[in-house]
Amino acid sequence: MGNIAAGFFRLAEHFLDRDALDVQGQRVSYGALRDDALAIAGAVAAHAGSRPHVAVFDQRSRSAYAAVLGILAAGRAYVPLNPGFPAQRTRHMLIRSGCAAVVTSAEHLPALAALLDHPEAEAALDELTVILAPEEGGPASLAPGLSPKLARGPRLVRAGSSPATAVAEVEKGQTAYLLFTSGSTGAPKGVAVSHGNVGAYLDYVASRYAPCPEDRFSQLFDLTFDLSVHDMFVCFGAGACLCVPAAASLMAPGRFIRDKGLTVWFSTPSTAAFMARLGMLKPDAFPGLRLSLFCGEPLPAATAAAWSRAAPHSRLENLYGPTETTIAIAHYAWDPAVSPGQCQNGLTPIGRVFANHDRVVVGPDGAPAKPGQAGELLLAGVQVTRGYLDDEARTAGQFVRCGDDGRIWYRTGDIVREDQDGILQYLARTDQQVKIRGFRVELSEVEHAVRSFCQAPYVVAVPWPLHQGNPEGLILAVFGGDKSQDEIINHCKNRLPGYMVPARVDFLETVPLNSNGKIDRAAVKQLLTGI
């Protein structure tokens, strides 16, 4: 596979009138989306100079998907930016990426203008060109109210005057997209993912799940989350329809599944747990689903079991993979008869790594761990990316050479255990370890002790209070469950050392989620502590 967008354009020639998108109450055909994308590709070729990165300042809409496809068709890498994210963070990512152009829509043009009307942006982005998606109104009607700099041409151009006629050929090592993930220092890390990385993933997933033109895919993930790459390119590569929920539908995902006739579902486990809490996972609720995938965070066994009953005809798989290893790199197929016995700490296994990839579990001494021993998971193979954008020190720390062959291995920071059958069990993050009264505490151990006791889908342990920056104890947030605070604390006293027993338990009705659909631990901490 060369350019990851080539499959879409190839199928568009045969499926001109077939639905490619069901978005914002609009059905968009492959032919119409192709025309939008080629219009954007032409504008990118004309106005982005020779720089490799072009930003998409848009959310899940017709113009956003056309922008992704058009940028790739022009042989460039797309950099997704969410207009709803804080302006300072987005401006930082735009500057770091070195984009010469940004594609947006009329809806988000004022927000982009405000973001660019800043001294930091004026100095670093002086030659930036803003490309308006082709289905929107012309620039002249949009100029009033914009910053003077953006309102003046040629900084603002409209795609469509000279559409591309072919998809650019690319090398396997050429970047397909650049994503920014949260960094421990507070500055986002840029991860460049190549066409070769993504192509290997798409080939494997296509052979495993056999998507077809009759499928209807969910698309819940923000474009800044790499799981959206799966949604788009697995779907478009099969000639299927991508179904994008409106904001209101996100609060009623069960109805969305039925109303849109979905056959393929992909979300974080938190979304499924939310649905379970609202009574949406009744037995046989989703008989039309044939494939259900979960990724992005640990999948509680209770959530997997409930989903399996709600979608009895669906294959259910738990996927695992950091952004640095391209979307997902391990999978576990849920079997109602076998899987409950394979779960540990109340969590579904992450299973086995994809074919043609390798893994090793490394203990604290750096030596490979024996079966059953916990250690950090390292991964190697064609999906492992090259490192972090303009950050050699961080790259050297996470992408390490091991063995006589000098092969690159990615240190995931995830603590796992491999059983005798070769199945990987996720245990915790290395950065979820804290010290309380001098003792090392794995927050996940406390969370599991409470989760399994009170049958709550999610439990979050927060180190608190802090004294001179160091935690003196723990408090808990429990979502659901059937036990009281006293019962939970007494249970912990009987199971855990005193320094691991929570001082307080708060019961929360709503699970705070971040833009990627994962539990927002920072938001939980703020709810519990006020800071």
How many other CB atoms are found less than 10 A from the CB of residue 188? 18
pLDDT classification of 96: cutoffs 50, 70, 90: very high
| Alpha helices (runs of H) in 316-457, residue ranges in sequence order | 339-342, 392-398, 443-454
Q: Which of 17-26, 382-391, 464-473 has the lowest mean pLDDT?
A: 464-473
Q: What is the pLDDT of residues 33-79, one digit of tens each?
A: 999 999 999 999 999 988 999 999 999 999 999 999 999 999 999 99
* Average pLDDT across the chain, whole number: 90
Residue 185 confidence (pLDDT): 47
Rounded to 5 degrees, φ, ψ at 20 are -95, -35
Residue 86 confidence (pLDDT): 82
Rounded to 5 degrees, φ, ψ at 290 are -110, -15
CA 393/CA 90 separation, integer angstroms? 23
Residue 262 confidence (pLDDT): 99
Q: Is residue 146's pLDDT more than 60?
A: no
Residue 171 confidence (pLDDT): 97
Q: What is the pLDDT of residues 162-219, one digit of tens each?
A: 899 999 999 999 999 999 986 544 467 899 999 999 999 999 999 999 999 999 999 9
| Alpha helices (runs of H) in 436-505, residue ranges in sequence order | 443-454, 485-495
Residue 136 confidence (pLDDT): 46
CA 328/CA 227 separation, integer angstroms? 8
Q: DSSP assignment of 173-238, as one string?
A: TSEEEEEEE--TTSSPEEEEEEHHHHHHHHHHHHHHH---TT-EEE--S-TTSTHHHHHHHHHHTT
> Of how many residues is the chain composed?
531
Is residue 459 within 8 Å of 511, Cβ to Cβ? no
Q: What is the pLDDT of residues 405-424, one digit of tens each?
A: 789 999 999 999 999 899 99
Closest CA to 111 of 99, 120, 124, 102: 102
Residue 402 confidence (pLDDT): 80
Residue 406 confidence (pLDDT): 80
CA 350/CA 295 separation, integer angstroms? 9
Residue 213 confidence (pLDDT): 98
Residue 30 confidence (pLDDT): 98
Q: What tokens were used for 295? A: 């990724």
pLDDT classification of 470: cutoffs 50, 70, 90: low
Residues 445-466, mean pLDDT to the nearest whole number: 88
Residue 494 confidence (pLDDT): 85
Task: Map out the domains of the chain with their CATH numbers.
Answer: 30-170 (3.40.50.980), 196-427 (3.40.50.12780), 437-529 (3.30.300.30)
Q: What is the pLDDT of residues 293-348, one digit of tens each?
A: 999 888 999 999 999 999 999 999 999 999 999 999 999 999 999 999 999 888 99
Q: What is the pLDDT of residues 207-250, one digit of tens each?
A: 999 999 999 999 999 999 999 999 999 999 999 999 999 988 88
Residue 424 confidence (pLDDT): 98
Is residue 20 within 8 Å of 242, Cβ to Cβ? yes
Run of H or E including 264: strand 264-267
Residue 325 confidence (pLDDT): 98
